[in-house]
Chain A
Amino acid sequence: MRFSFFKGCFIPVRQPHIEKTAQIVLPMLGLDLVPAEDYTCCPEPIGVGVNHKLTGIVISARNLAVAEEAGHDIITLCNGCTYTLKQTNILLKGDEELKGKVNAILSETDHQFRGTVEVRHFAQILLEDVGLEKIRTKAERKLTGLKVANHTGCHILSPPEIMGFDDPQDPVQLDRLVEALGAEPVEYLYKTQCCGWTLSNYGDRTAAYRLLGDKLAAINEAGTDCVNLICPQCLAQFDTGQMMAGRALQLGFRLPALFYLQLLGLSMGLSLDEVGYTKHRVRDSGFEEKMGGILG
């Protein structure tokens, strides 16, 4: 299965270890990531996309056109990229007049949006194309006994009729993905609450830390070993954000956050260092010992 690899901005700039892990882990499941140099920012929805909608639509249409030229559907690693690109793709496929307007602008960049590719988040591809059965088979080192709190993130959930990933008020897909690795998903209060990254960056940082603190306390109370996520901004908030919120709110615990591809890599034979866990700010010796015992 070949996909055009849309890395986005945040991962290549701030979390290159996730890009590296994706390039190691996804091919092990039969996904061929074709690089494309011409991509730009999706554009980032809150800082750019919603504030000048036409520009947001044309920039994402340009990215979709780059994938069309390569002839492959897009695989993303980020909820925000998926949110932006998917909405534009669906909008333009259903609106000839707007498509004409967008293409008239795009012609100056030698690109044209035709509407011939689909946009999907890697988690969606794992669930729908690779399938849980194959993940179960390939994940030979079962993460038995590892208690994982899943945080899906906002922008892959809503609007559900466009994103088509999970129920925004009762998400279960990440639980299924974690179970396929032999780990145990835990239920916790505030499961659907936002991570607060966007609020902390564009709005009120203190409010964002209080929000994150409540969410982390609920996760900790549920007896969790680590948090699992599928969005780089959520990872940043649960990692660097947790470090900052922990200082501000005097949180008495440390909950390591892992990107699903990192957990997948661990269960397919990679070490904590190889999946880039050592690059994270919030590490915990209790978690590391438990993982050591599980991984053998």
Chain B
Amino acid sequence: MVINISYSARTIHGLEEAAEICLKCGICCVVEGYGCPAQYDGQFTPKHTYVYDCLGHDDPMSNANIWQCVSCHKCEEMCPYEVSPVRYIETLKSMALEEGYAPEMILGEIGLVLSTGYAFPITANTIRQRKALELPPLKESNELKVIAERTGLSSVLESWESRR
């Protein structure tokens, strides 16, 4: 496997260290109970681990598997060479969002947070349960849209809309 990530400074602080120090030992994924949860997917094996799949893909941003990463940091904890695959995968996700590869589930959640202030929809069941428990109704906020305008996220989402 060749590591294919172009590790340009795409996050706020950038990823200066090189992923190429990865020895492909596989410890991040194959140690049962301590390693990567995404390794549970049947397509991954000890020789083709989840981390290899993400870091060694020919077109890593378009690889749908990057979205399986749960940011649990298990790979980072296990790696004997301090490679921190999670940071590369998170960077790939942010690049993929800008390039138009993010799944609908992610776009839907981002849209919901920006329009209501909640990542999960307030349903009739939510309202009923809160009332029964004498909890106050939930107040929605659209202040986050203002933030997204200024951070560039809104224009990323608009480019998704035009692509559709």
Contact = CB atoms under 8 A, between A and B. Distances in A.
Interface of A: 9-10, 12-14, 16-17, 19-20, 35, 37-38, 40-41, 43-48, 50-55, 57-59, 62, 98, 105-106, 108-109, 154-155, 157-159, 168-169, 189-194, 196, 198-199, 201-204, 206-208, 210-211, 279
B2 interface: no
B27 interface: no
13 contacts: A13-B121, A16-B126, A20-B135, A44-B113, A50-B71, A98-B12, A105-B150, A108-B147, A109-B146, A158-B76, A192-B33, A203-B70, A210-B40
Nearest to A44: B119
Interface string B127-154: 0011001011011010110111011110
B93 A9 contact: no
A10 B120 contact: yes
Contacts of B123: 13
B147 to A, nearest CB: 5
Given A14-B120, A194-B74, A109 B147 contact: yes
A262 B95 CA distance: 41
A13 B116 CA distance: 12
A51 B102 contact: yes
**Interface size of B as a range:** 35 or more
A52 to B, nearest CB: 5
Contact of A169 (B12, B34, B141, B147): B34
Contact of B40 (A12, A16, A154, A199): A199
B67 interface: yes
A38 B77 CA distance: 36
A168 B74 CA distance: 9
Contacts of B77: 158, 168-169
B6 interface: no
Contact of A51 (B33, B34, B110, B129): B110
Given A41-B118, A155-B71, A199-B70, 13 more contacts: A12-B126, A13-B123, A16-B126, A19-B133, A38-B141, A44-B119, A46-B70, A51-B106, A52-B94, A98-B12, A168-B77, A199-B68, A206-B42
Interface in B2-53: 11-12, 32-34, 37-38, 40-42
Interface of B: 11-12, 32-34, 37-38, 40-42, 67-74, 76-77, 90, 93-94, 97, 102-103, 105-106, 109-110, 113, 117-123, 126, 129-130, 133, 135-136, 138-139, 141, 143-144, 146-148, 150-153, 156
A52 B110 contact: yes
Contact of B37 (A14, A53, A159, A194): A194
A40 B123 CA distance: 17
A45 B102 CA distance: 15
A16 B135 contact: yes
B118 A13 contact: yes
A46 B143 CA distance: 21
Contact of A52 (B122, B141, B151): B151
Nearest to A189: B33
Nearest to A196: B37
Nearest to A160: B77
A203 B68 contact: yes
Nearest to B72: A154
A192 B76 CA distance: 14
B141 A203 contact: no
Contacts of B153: 52, 54-55
Contact of B33 (A45, A57, A155, A193): A193
